[in-house]
Structure formats: structure tokens, C-alpha cells
Amino acid sequence: MWRRVVSLSPVISSSKSSLLNQAAYRFRIWESFATEIINPGKCGISPMEKTPFITFVLGGPGSGKGTQCIKIADTFGFMHLSAGDLLRTEIASNSEDGAMILNTIKEGKIVPSEVTVKLIQREIESSDCHKFLIDGFPRTEENRIAFEKIMGVEPKIVLFFDCPEEEMVKRVLGRNEGRVDDNIDTMKKRLNVFTALSLPVINYYEKKGKLYTINAVGSVDEIFEKVRPVFAECEEMTQ
């Protein structure tokens, strides 16, 4: 069994740009807020290591997940893992799945769960951090179930950035990061995928009482002020 009582307080926080960077952390007792363990035997993390505190960060394309995750990571010392960034890194590294991932992203479809979960698993298991923001995952019920099966944990909390489609389209088309999927045709497909496949995941976590819905309209700082109390509450529970 994982030890349930010890977690970590980061000294250095991570961000999207330092995805693969391992920060140094010091220990702190964190008793009451350990991530729920549903299948300890199957998680790749050694039994003697500490339970990761998982937060899933969900929302449609362009809802501001990545932007807010950087601020949460900097302020509250979480490691930020963007599923989309991990997949793009995999494409760039010419891995055997690279071509398949690129085609899937161009089509606005969802990469097979085992591929994405393995990338997330590798990051979690190679990190000394115990507090993770998993951004843009799970996108489907299949993603969610694969994560639970492979990692053997559930998220403690789930954030949902709720943003009108019109605003998401405006943001994505103005993102200017040279992404192959930030065009109007792929965006329409991504919005359809979000409605058909991702909303059921959000509803699932709402029923479980784990969902924090944040109205994602407003300035970046205004939205972060709505996010802050969620994590401030977590911090209090770690004292």
C-alpha cells in the first residue's frame, strides 16, 4: 500500500514550458487530502512512495486550461502536465506513434487512451512532486477508465473551465502558436468531440461531487481569482 500520510510541498513550481523538468521538493505531512486509491497494486509507483494528489483540468479547446494551469502551478506548487503538450512532444521526438498522433490531432480526434496514459504515467512516475495538474485529460470516458486502470488512482478534484463556444473559437484562432489544429475546420471538429465525448466525463465527476466549475469568461487574472480559493482550501488542509 502507498503511505497515505506524507506528501510534498514544492520549493520550485513547474510550468508548461518546463514540463519535463524535475523540480526539487521538500517534504510535508499531508494527511487528509491524499488522492483516493482505488487499485494500489496496479499503479507503477513503488508501494513505498507517496500517493500523488491528482487534479484533472477540463474544458473545451481554448477555454484557458493551459493559461490557468501555469498560474496554479506557480502559485500552489503543482506540476503541470498537459496531455496535448505530451502528445506534441511525442510527435516532435519522432516516436513510432508520432505519425498516428499527428494525424489524430489534425482531425481533432482523440488519441488511443493507452498512448496518452503511458505518457502521463511516465511523467508522474519520474517526478518527485506529488501534486499534479493533468490538463486536457481525460477527454473521454475511455480516457478516464484507462487512467484509473493503469494508474490505480482517481483525481481528488476536477476543475472545469466553462466557456461559451464563440469565445473559445476566438481564442483558438488568435492563439498563434503554429498549431496544426488551431484552424476553423479542426476547431469545429474539436468542439463536436468536446460536446459528445468530454461533457459526459465532466458530468461523471459532477455526480461524484468532485467537480469545481469555473466561469472562464473574463480576464486571465479575474479567472484565476475564482480558481485560487479551490487550491487555497487544499493548502489549508495540508497544514
- Binding interface with ligand C5P (CB under 6 A): 61, 83-84, 87, 104-105, 108-111, 116, 136-137, 139, 143, 181, 190
Site size with Mg ion, rule: CB under 5 A = 1
Residue nearest to Mg ion (CB): 66
CB of 48 to ligand C5P, least distance (A): 30
CB of 211 to Mg ion, least distance (A): 19
Rg, the chain, Cα only: 17
Cβ-contact 205, 159 below 8 angstroms = no
Residue 219, contacted partner among ligand C5P, ligand ADP, Mg ion, none, CB below 5-8 A by kind: ligand ADP
Interatomic CA distance for residues 40 and 46, integer angstroms: 10
Work out which of 10, 59, 64, 66 binds Mg ion, going by CB under 5 A: 66
Interatomic CA distance for residues 223 and 33, integer angstroms: 24
Smallest CA-to-CA distance from 77 within 135, 125, 26 is with 26
Interatomic CA distance for residues 38 and 90, integer angstroms: 29
Work out which of 199, 220, 232, 237 binds ligand ADP, going by CB under 6 A: 220
How far lies 23's CA from each of 26, 30, 127, 130, 177, in Å? 10, 19, 8, 11, 26
Work out which of 13, 14, 63, 113 binds ligand ADP, going by CB under 6 A: 63
**What mask of x and - would describe binding to ligand ADP in positions 169 to 208, judged by CB under 6 A?**
--x--xx---------------------------------
Cβ-contact 8, 30 below 8 angstroms = yes
Interatomic CA distance for residues 88 and 96, integer angstroms: 13
CB of 228 to ligand C5P, least distance (A): 23
Interatomic CA distance for residues 6 and 125, integer angstroms: 16
Site size with ligand ADP, rule: CB under 6 A = 15
DSSP letter at 25? E
Residue written as grid cell 484565476: 224
Residue 63, contacted partner among ligand C5P, ligand ADP, Mg ion, none, CB below 5-8 A by kind: ligand ADP
Smaller CB distance to ligand ADP: residue 7 or 108? Answer: 108
The DSSP bridge pattern shows strands 79-82 and 211-215 to be unpaired
Interatomic CA distance for residues 128 and 22, integer angstroms: 7
Smaller CB distance to ligand C5P: residue 111 or 153? Answer: 111
Residue 105, contacted partner among ligand C5P, Mg ion, ligand ADP, none, CB below 5-8 A by kind: ligand C5P
Work out which of 18, 67, 75, 104 binds ligand ADP, going by CB under 6 A: 67
Smaller CB distance to ligand ADP: residue 149 or 179? Answer: 179
- Binding-site ranges for Mg ion (CB under 5 A): 66
